[in-house]
Amino acid sequence: MSYKNNIVNKPWGYEYLVYENENVGLWYLHIEKEQRTSMHCHPKKNTGLVLLKGSARTSFLNNSVKMTSLKKIMIRRGLFHSTMGISEGGASIFEIEAPKDKADLVRLEDSYGRKLSPYEGKNKEVPKGEECLWITDPAEGEVNSYSFCDCTMTTENIINKEQLYNRNDDDIFIFLRGGLRTKEDDQIAQPGDVLDGLTLDKLSRVFEITDKVVLLSIGANNGDS
């Protein structure tokens, strides 16, 4: 099923697809203040969350973590979690899933009566507007740039690992294609993984890049969004 052209309305807000390829799906979530996603897990996929604007609290079964602008969390498959908007105006979040599969969802608890229910059906979808973001892979040698939710974003092809050096420590980086590997071809970073600039720099100085790397970078935008 394709979600490319529609917004999915949720009782806590809404979400829509902003990028996809054969390996990953990247979604934009807007969670209203004091509203929350279900306490759920994904048995088959790993998930990364990046807080773009506002603030939120991501809770697990035994603890919780506050997220503010350009903070990230990686959530392993099978880990139950729920995210609540806690700032005025709600929270704007990127969620990246690998592999992409919206049906990979188990709800343990829900404030809106969706406990144990599957992902929302077509009756919750409405067409996207022109304001909705869509991210594309850049052509070879080019960089695609976007301004969204008080952030500056780029997608770029990485040809050699030196291109990953000396990135801004506080920026966020998502591998959309490819990643980092050992000389024995063990994957250190792969599609869907989310890193900060400091971690990306350290890893890229030791490990090799795979073929066909496409990197999404997200940094603060001090101008208009």
176 and 122 housed in the same domain: no
CATH assignment of the domain containing 35:
2.60.120.10
Domain membership flag for residue 58: yes
Where in the sequence is the domain holding 159, given as residue range(s)?
Answer: 143-220
Domain membership flag for residue 1: no
44 and 109 housed in the same domain: yes
160 and 213 Cβ atoms separated by less than 8 Å: no
Q: Cα(165)–Cα(201) distance, rounded to whole angstroms?
A: 5
Q: Is 118 exposed, middle or buried (0-12, 13-18, 19+ CB in 10 A)?
A: exposed
**Selection from 90, 98, 96, 100 nearest residue 10 by Cα:** 90
Q: Cα(115)–Cα(152) distance, rounded to whole angstroms?
A: 37
123 and 164 housed in the same domain: no
Q: pLDDT in tens for each of the 225 residues of the chain?
A: 678 999 999 999 999 999 999 999 999 999 999 999 999 999 999 999 999 999 999 999 999 999 999 999 999 999 999 999 999 999 999 999 999 999 999 999 999 999 999 998 888 999 999 999 999 999 988 999 999 999 999 999 999 999 999 999 999 999 999 999 999 999 999 999 999 999 999 999 999 999 899 999 999 986 543
Domain end (from 127, 157, 187): 127
Q: Cα(69)–Cα(3) distance, rounded to whole angstroms?
A: 26
